[in-house]
Every structure is written in structure tokens, then in C-alpha cells.
Amino acid sequence: MGAIEAAGPVQRAVADDLRIPVVPGFAPRVTVAGRGPQQSPRQAGKALRERVPRISHTVLDLPAGRPDAVRAIQESSRGRVPELAPIRVGRIAATPFAFLRGSAGLMAHDLVGTPVSGVGAQLCGDAHAANFGLYGDARGSLVIDLNDFDETVFGPWEWDLKRLATSLVLAGREVGADEDTCRQGAYDTVGAYRRTMRLLARMPVLDAWNAIADEELVSHADARDLLGTLERVSEKARRNTSARFAARSTEGSGDGGRRFVDAPPVLRRVSDQEAAAVASGFGSYLGTIPEDLLPLLARYAIHDVAFRVVGTGSVGTRSYVVLLLDHRGEPLVLQVKEARPSVLAPHLPKVGFDVPEVAHEGRRVVLGQKCMQVVSDILLGWTTVEGRPFQVRQFRNRKGSVDPAALAADQLDDYGRMTGALLARAHAHSADPRLIAGYCGKSEELDEAVAAFAVTYADRTEADHAELVRAIAAGRIAAERDV
């Protein structure tokens, strides 16, 4: 048996003069004579325009049977902690932008009626403008990227891009920007996505994988008006640590340790039984992180568990903070957050994307996050608590974010360009950038189309938000403002 046969199952190259066979998991070889794929990825992407013209992305054709705003929010609350439902509704009803943040499933339902090129990528699934931010890497440096992946799944790249562009319009309206400025924010978001994808398509693969280092991001996106804002957010993020959170949220327990202090409704202590169940889940969690990190966690002891309300759309999911202390009493706080099925999953088969069976929703979230980010939390993992899937990650890991609904109007386009570039980089980890770049092209046709869609869908979101507010006033659905 030769070395090739002994190496495992491989498929022989079609050409007799190729000594190296085609190995599954690698690209087919393209010879100097041109053997290999008959059409390059860029050409294939360009050819897709004939079937799905770029201008068609202007279209919003709402599917029949669309749930109204109240029913959509009620349906998305099923399976969550019931007593937290009014807080969730209150947060979602705060503004139209907040409504968009809490209704990813409703938008996925609506996107079924929009054109897709058929090219897939790992999606954030909830790529609105507030889901980008700063966080710390293993060495304490700050990076900026997408930072929320509860809905991540493989699907049409256009869905993430349209959600991001729409969020820029809504954020702009919230800060009082005029309509031209709001539309320009969406337009620039798409343009930055398109140009970044074209840049990545031209680069060597390894360089493209790690492209646009954080120190180059502002220059690449031409977002210099954001420099002051980013510096302020970075300074705040550096102080946002486990130690700071623990100092504010815990007290001495009398045995040399510490425990969480009730701060309802956001933070509350849990029963001994519930705390023990969460802590027991850390046994299986250890099997989901790299083995070289096990000695690190072995130097911490688990001291306490509390329930903590998080997010806007995430309110009502079971989410815990776990306090660990080292031998000096220095804290490490981990978040154990329930992982529910992606709200995009039921809608993807309608646009030609199969959804594979998910063995563990926490695993789906973690692997999707690692696929899309250049640098991820080293302690990302997953576990099961009392039969429910959870993801595990560091809490307050020097996290910081720009509130897009608090930006000056003249910063909106800068922020759009920055987030559009980051989204393109994230998609290019799972989709061939040459294919998407071939479809997007050099012209601004896609930018115009998606910006027009974003304005239309922002109008739709404002109407849905108004309907929810009326329902709250009429007593059809309970709402509570907690903060």
C-alpha cells in the first residue's frame, strides 16, 4: 500500500498528470493549463446577478399570515421565565430601534419575501448596529467586532446586511437626524460591506482571514469622526471587569468568601438547589474548552450563583452569573446563559437553506461565534443545566459598546461604514469572499437597493412599534420599565 492510500480515503484528480489527489476538505487544484473549475468564484457570483438582479433587493413583499406586533412578541416569549415577560415588553416598547432589537424572528419572517442570491454564510442572525462592540482578548488588549450570537445560523448573507442597514436608519431617526442622513447611513453601511468584501477577495487567504486589524479599522472605514467616541468607549471598557462588577454586586459571606447581593429585578439570589444545579453544569462545561485552559480554571473555586436579567430581546431567558475566586480572593465572573433555538431557523428552508439538526443550542452559539470573530473569548463553552442548553462565557470581559441611538447625526455614516466592514469580515470566514464580491460588484447598485429597503423596513418597524405601544396602553399586553 502506497503512502497516498495509507493516508485515508481520497479522490483521485481527474487529470492523469496530477500526482497529488484531491483531498476532501481542500479546494480542487487549478493547474497552469486551466484545469479545475470551469468558472471562477468571482465569475459565478457575477452570474448570479442575472437570476437575482442587485436592484431587486429594494423589494419588501411581506408574506401572507404575518403576525401582528403583539402576537409576534408574545410568541417569542414562549418558554421564557414568565414573570420577566413584562420587563421584556417594556424594554422592546421603549423605541422603534428597541423594537427591532427584540423582534429578530419577526424580521426573519418578513425577509422570506425578499430576494436572496443563494450564497450562504454563517450569520450573526441579529446583526443590528448595537450588537457590535469592544471586548478584551486573552492578553488584555481591546478588540472590536460583532459580539452577540444567540441567533447565529448558516443562511443568506443578505439577511444580516439588511438588518444592519435598517438599524442604522432607526438609530438615526432616534437621534433626530433627517431622512437623507438616515438613508445615507444605511447606504454607507452597504457600501463598506461591498468594498471590504472586494478587498478580502483580492488578498491572500490567510491575510484576508485576519484582515483589518482594529488599529486599521477607522482608517479603512473612513470613520475618523468616531475617534473620540471610540476612545471614550475604550476607556470605559477597560474598567468594565469582573473585579469591578464583583465589588459592586457581592458582599463578604462570613467564611472568607463572597456572595451576590440581591438587586431586583436585575440581579437576584437563587435557591441552594438552583445554584447547585448551575454549578454542577460546570463539569460538562470543562469538556468544551481547550484542554490547555483546564489548569487555569482549576485555580478558581466556585463561590456563588445568581440570576441576572440581560439584554433587550434576551430578557426572560435563564441567565446566571457565577462567582469564582482565586487563592487571593480575586474574582472571575462567568455568565451561564440559556441558548434557545435560533429564531431564523424556521424561516430558512423557505428560501432554500436547509437547517441541520442541532445537537446542543449552546454549542451552536459558541461555534457560530468562533466562526465569525477574529478573536473570541478563550473561556467560551457550553453546558446543560436541568435539561436546558446553556452557553458559558466571561462576564464583563472589558466589554464596551457604542450606542448608535446616541451618536451625533454626523457620526451615523461613519458608524455604518465601520460596522459594514466588520460584518463583511465576519461573513468572509465562512463564505468565499470572491463569490459575494462577484455578486456585489464595483457599482453602487446594491448600496442603493439595500438602503431603499432599509428605509421601507424602518417604516414598517415604526408601525409595528406603534401598534405595540397602543396595545400596552389598552391593557392587551403587560409592560414594565425596570430601568
Give the per-residue pLDDT at 110. 97
Average pLDDT of the residues in 192-205: 96
Give the per-residue pLDDT at 27. 86
Query: What's the chain's Rg over C-alpha atoms?
Result: 24
What's the CA gap between 366 and 375, in Å, rounded?
13
pLDDT bin (cut points 50, 70, 90) of residue 32 is: low
pLDDT, one tens digit per residue, over 95-104 is 999 999 999 9
List, in sequence order, every residue forming a beta bridge with 482; answer none if it has no partner: none
Q: Which residues contact 281 (CB under 8 A, 6 or more apart)?
A: 336, 383, 384, 385, 390
pLDDT bin (cut points 50, 70, 90) of residue 1 is: very low
pLDDT, one tens digit per residue, over 133-181 is 999 888 878 889 999 999 999 999 999 999 999 999 999 999 999 999 9
What's the CA gap between 136 and 138, in Å, rounded?
7
C-alpha closest to that of 460 among 61, 23, 88: 61
Give the per-residue pLDDT at 483. 53
Please answer whether residues 323 and 304 qualify as being in contact, where contact means their C-beta atoms are separated by less than 8 angstroms. Answer: yes
Please answer whether residues 237 and 399 qualify as being in contact, where contact means their C-beta atoms are separated by less than 8 angstroms. Answer: yes
- What's the CA dihedral at 427, 353, 393, 82 to 10 degrees? 130
Give the per-residue pLDDT at 255. 83
The residue that leads in pLDDT, 92 or 316, is 92
pLDDT, one tens digit per residue, over 441-453 is 999 999 999 999 9
What's the CA gap between 84 and 338, in Å, rounded?
14
Please answer whether residues 113 and 457 qualify as being in contact, where contact means their C-beta atoms are separated by less than 8 angstroms. Answer: no
